[in-house]
Chains A and B, each alone.
Chain A
Amino acid sequence: MQKSTLAELAVGARATIEQVTGERRLAVRLMELGLVPSTLVRLERKAPLGDPIELSIRGYDLSIRREEAEKIFVSRVDAASEEAP
């Protein structure tokens, strides 16, 4: 397990949320959408133009910008997997 941010994940990689940092208003919103510590997340894809990114989390898909993803710390679970979080 190594610590990194959501923005550093490769497409298809899974990770566990460690901490959501950044502006409080946004951090609370992201956590309320399910990005709370110890939740499993997979980077589903990047938008055709490279940003934003699509996350698969809690059985649904959420899109955020890289800028936000850089402030979400995760620990990587394993290499790419088809298994849905």
Chain B
Amino acid sequence: MIAPTVLVAGNPNAGKTTLFNSITGAFAKVGNYPGITVDKVEKQIDLDGQAALFVDLPGTYSLTSRSEEERVAVEAILSETDKAAALVIVADATTLRRGLYFATQLLDTGIPAVVALTMMDDARRAHLDVDIGLLAMVLGCEVIPMVAPRGEGLSELRRAVKRLLTEPYAPGNAVDLGGAEPAIRAVEAAFAEGRPALPARKARTRASWALLSIGGDDLLGVPEGARRAVETERKKALADGRDLDAEMVGARYRAVDAILDRVITSKEPKGRRRSQKIDDILVHPVWGLLLFVVVMFVVFQALFAWATPFADWIEAGVGAAKAFTKDAIPPGPFNNLVVDGVLAGVGNVLVFVPQIALLFVFLTILEDSGYLARVAFVIDRVMAKVGLNGRAFVPMLSGFACAIPAVMATRTIESRRDRLLTMLVVPLSSCSARLPVYVLLTAVIFDPDRKLLGFLAPGALALFAMYLLSVVFSLGAAFVIGRTVLKGPRPTLVLELPVYRWPQPFNVARATWQRVRRFLVDAGTIILALTIVLWGLLNYPQNPESVARFAGLREEAATIEDDALKTEQLAVIAAEESGDRLRNSVAGKVGRAIEPAIEPLGFDWKIGVGILGAFAAREVFVSTLGLVYDVEEATEETATLKDALRDAKHPDGSPVFTPLAGVSLMVFFVLAAQCMSTLAVVKREAGSWKWAGFMFAYMSGLAYVVTLLVYQGGRLLGWGI
């Protein structure tokens, strides 16, 4: 038997997640609503013999607005196929004058419901006296006062939900919406027409929803008759000079106020609230800005530096696993597949975990404490200039450490359009994986002893220019994409500044674990698969002649008596063999095939192969370039690789890595989308390959055009050739 569904609904910041966590106990399953970026969190639990599937709906302020989250909530509540057996309406006792608006909307659906009145401790501290019995009577449902983190009210809530599932339920009267009633009844009738199965209360909610909707896309899926009725009623009201929206919303709020005037018996606090006093300091024009800079710096530093030791351990662990496996399995193609394909892929996935975990620990603490909303409040003015809002700042900043956690952090942005837009431009932030590439190239193309104006190192200047370029292009891309591809309603900011609260360690751990797990399961599998494919492209097909030749060379070297000399000789052979294998591989051939296309950018085929290899991760460019130049295990500090690059010549004898070509290559790395892990995570977060594909296309196009302009423009002006 399928367990009946219990939906947990409520305003954002109402303590919904904490309540859901404490009622469902251990870690719940996080899924995705199909095709979109909204998480679906659910867990089946047992209520003393009665099974129930608890679903945590996205936090919303009403049943009528139309953000993606609200659509999910509306669909779940009003769907006729996926029946909700009961509702747990989570309402923050300290913000009832707003929370009860949504609560009464939910009660009006007629679905058996119980109100969980959370934050009772805060309410008591603020001397806010709520007459629970009277509230229950007026609302026509049970009201359970709760302090979820302490478990207060939890068993009462469980019993109340069980009663909803097992005993008959008589909903209270729907809120009378006064002057709007005739319009609602007309649309309601149109909804019910031909659908006798639709309960009257749900038809009423549907009608209110449709009347407050904006038309066009929002009304897709609404029966033709109901749509016409909405138009007629709106026109009628307009002709009478009435504002139907204000009437409907106003009437419900008047009802809420009337209820609360009776229910809240004590005098409400008249002074300024605690959070407002805290904000006097935390968003103070001077101290507030200072704190903002400090907090953002700490987050960035954590991603950029604190995650590194953990990542190093993971790399060392994967390295040890690779070495062990290499010796444990007989040498051959299978050994190579496991070691350089599968294990390397696992490493490619795991290496992101420290950054993701750290970022989400910080994000959850910032969000749960209430400060994340202040971050958006402080920086909104800046982000508004490029058509985003303050919520986009933390993801964009995180992008300078790594695009993977940054893309995942976009889920703190409320509107789908803003979230997508941020996601699409975050990979233009110059992530830490690009740094080794810049370091290597500046070292190769610039003389370290030369100083501009007597003190400026050209390499440092070039590095700074790359970061500047990255900022300019990511903001510019947001500006352009936001006005073209993702053109939508005028972007704005409507932001609740929630009450400051201490974050719950369990919630932080849970949210972080959920994110990490989702990354491993969804994006991780894609990254693993892509790593294996890329490995195949970089190693196959093999040239049988070369294989035989190198086997011969190795046998020959094995006879060398001097051990040191033998080891050295074997290393040289191994480096040459890797290089030879790469040159004969699909990637090597593709690199050569695309040479005419990348030549105008100042790149030769070897650089082309390096760029293909960099798809695994940008810093892999360095080691791939090492392979092409027969330098084994190269890093950006390897002197032999730098020398090899400095000596590299075109067939006509001119050097490959001129300052201009090097700068062009750096510019290419600033803009190009060659990081399959980013593509995988964008696919996962945006819900389809479409956006990942779009991102790849626009970034590649941008990288090509800008690099072309830089290289050819530089040549025309005679710079650095």
A29-50 CB mask vs B (1 if < 8 Å, else 0) is 1111110111100001101111
Q: Which residue of B lies closest to A65 (CB)?
A: B493
Contact B98 A59 (CB under 8 A): yes
Q: For B270, what are the chain A residues with a Cβ–Cβ distance below 8 Å?
A: 82-84
- Find residues 249-290 in chain B having any chain A CB closer than 8 Å to their own CB: 249-250, 253, 268-273, 275-276, 279-280, 283-286, 288-289
Contact B496 A61 (CB under 8 A): yes
Interchain CA distance A67-B275 in the complex, whole Å: 25
B62 within 8 A of partner (CB): yes
Nearest chain B CB to A3 CB, angstrom units: 17
With contact pairs A25-B214, A29-B494, A54-B497 given, residues A34 and B380 touching in the complex (Cβ less than 8 Å): no
Q: For A52, what are the chain B residues with a Cβ–Cβ distance below 8 Å?
A: 377, 380-381, 390, 493, 495
Contact B381 A49 (CB under 8 A): yes
With contact pairs A33-B494, A82-B272 given, residues A63 and B97 touching in the complex (Cβ less than 8 Å): no
Contact A61 B494 (CB under 8 A): no
With contact pairs A61-B275, A84-B272 given, residues A47 and B212 touching in the complex (Cβ less than 8 Å): no
Interchain CA distance A65-B243 in the complex, whole Å: 24
B70-109 CB mask vs A (1 if < 8 Å, else 0) is 0000000000000000000000001111100100000000
Contact B65 A61 (CB under 8 A): no
Interchain CA distance A34-B101 in the complex, whole Å: 8
Nearest chain A CB to B500 CB, angstrom units: 11
Contact A50 B381 (CB under 8 A): yes
Q: For B286, what are the chain A residues with a Cβ–Cβ distance below 8 Å?
A: 48
A28 within 8 A of partner (CB): yes
B492 within 8 A of partner (CB): yes
Q: Which residue of A lies closest to B379 (CB)?
A: A49
Q: For A29, what are the chain B residues with a Cβ–Cβ distance below 8 Å?
A: 61, 65, 494
Contact B271 A49 (CB under 8 A): no
Q: For B214, what are the chain A residues with a Cβ–Cβ distance below 8 Å?
A: 24-25, 28
A78 within 8 A of partner (CB): no
Q: Which residue of A lies closest to B491 (CB)?
A: A65
A7 within 8 A of partner (CB): no
B706 within 8 A of partner (CB): no
B509 within 8 A of partner (CB): no
- The answer, among B62, B288, B384, B390, for a CB contact under 8 Å with A32, is B62
Contact B496 A47 (CB under 8 A): no
Q: For B272, what are the chain A residues with a Cβ–Cβ distance below 8 Å?
A: 82, 84
Contact A60 B276 (CB under 8 A): no
Contact B253 A34 (CB under 8 A): yes
Contact B381 A33 (CB under 8 A): no
Nearest chain A CB to B96 CB, angstrom units: 8
- The answer, among B246, B269, B279, B378, for a CB contact under 8 Å with A31, is B246
Nearest chain A CB to B440 CB, angstrom units: 39
Q: For B275, what are the chain A residues with a Cβ–Cβ distance below 8 Å?
A: 61
Interchain CA distance A83-B267 in the complex, whole Å: 13
A64 within 8 A of partner (CB): yes
Q: Which of B95, B101, B373, B492 has the most CB of A within 10 A?
A: B492
- The answer, among A27, A37, A45, A82, for a CB contact under 8 Å with B271, is A82
Q: For A37, what are the chain B residues with a Cβ–Cβ distance below 8 Å?
A: 246, 250
B490 within 8 A of partner (CB): yes
Contact B249 A28 (CB under 8 A): yes
B660-682 CB mask vs A (1 if < 8 Å, else 0) is 00000000000000000000000
Contact B269 A65 (CB under 8 A): no
A1-31 CB mask vs B (1 if < 8 Å, else 0) is 0000000000000000001100111111111
Interchain CA distance A24-B285 in the complex, whole Å: 33
Contact A48 B288 (CB under 8 A): yes
B194 within 8 A of partner (CB): no
Q: For B253, what are the chain A residues with a Cβ–Cβ distance below 8 Å?
A: 34, 36, 39
A65-77 CB mask vs B (1 if < 8 Å, else 0) is 1011000000000
Interchain CA distance A60-B382 in the complex, whole Å: 25
Contact B493 A60 (CB under 8 A): no
Q: For A82, what are the chain B residues with a Cβ–Cβ distance below 8 Å?
A: 270-272
Q: Which residue of B lies closest to A26 (CB)?
A: B492
- The answer, among A32, A47, A59, for a CB contact under 8 Å with B378, is A47
Contact B246 A36 (CB under 8 A): yes
Q: Which residue of B lies closest to A34 (CB)?
A: B98
Q: Which of A44, A45, A63 has the most CB of B within 10 A?
A: A63
- Find residues 502-531 in chain B having any chain A CB closer than 8 Å to their own CB: none
Contact A58 B377 (CB under 8 A): no
Q: For B39, what are the chain A residues with a Cβ–Cβ distance below 8 Å?
A: none
With contact pairs A61-B496, A68-B492, A84-B273 given, residues A32 and B249 touching in the complex (Cβ less than 8 Å): yes
Q: For A51, what are the chain B residues with a Cβ–Cβ distance below 8 Å?
A: 380-381, 384
B576 within 8 A of partner (CB): no
Contact A60 B494 (CB under 8 A): no
Q: Which of B64, B249, B493, B496 has the most CB of A within 10 A?
A: B249
Q: Which of B280, B292, B490 has the most CB of A within 10 A?
A: B490
Interchain CA distance A56-B276 in the complex, whole Å: 9
- Find residues 11-40 in chain B having any chain A CB closer than 8 Å to their own CB: none
B340 within 8 A of partner (CB): no
Contact B65 A28 (CB under 8 A): yes
B489 within 8 A of partner (CB): yes
B245 within 8 A of partner (CB): yes
Other A-B contacts than A63-B377, A64-B495, 14 sampled, CB-CB below 8 A, are A32-B101, A34-B101, A48-B285, A49-B379, A49-B381, A52-B493, A54-B279, A59-B97, A60-B496, A62-B495, A63-B497, A64-B492, A68-B494, A84-B270
Q: What are 21 A-B pairs with beta-carbon distances under 8 A? A: A25-B489, A32-B61, A33-B494, A33-B496, A37-B250, A45-B279, A48-B284, A51-B380, A52-B380, A52-B390, A52-B495, A56-B276, A60-B497, A60-B499, A63-B496, A64-B494, A65-B492, A65-B493, A82-B270, A82-B271, A83-B271
Q: What is the interface of chain B, defined by CB distance below 8 A to chain A?
A: 61-62, 64-66, 94-98, 101, 212, 214, 243, 245-246, 249-250, 253, 268-273, 275-276, 279-280, 283-286, 288-289, 292, 373, 376-382, 384, 390, 489-490, 492-499
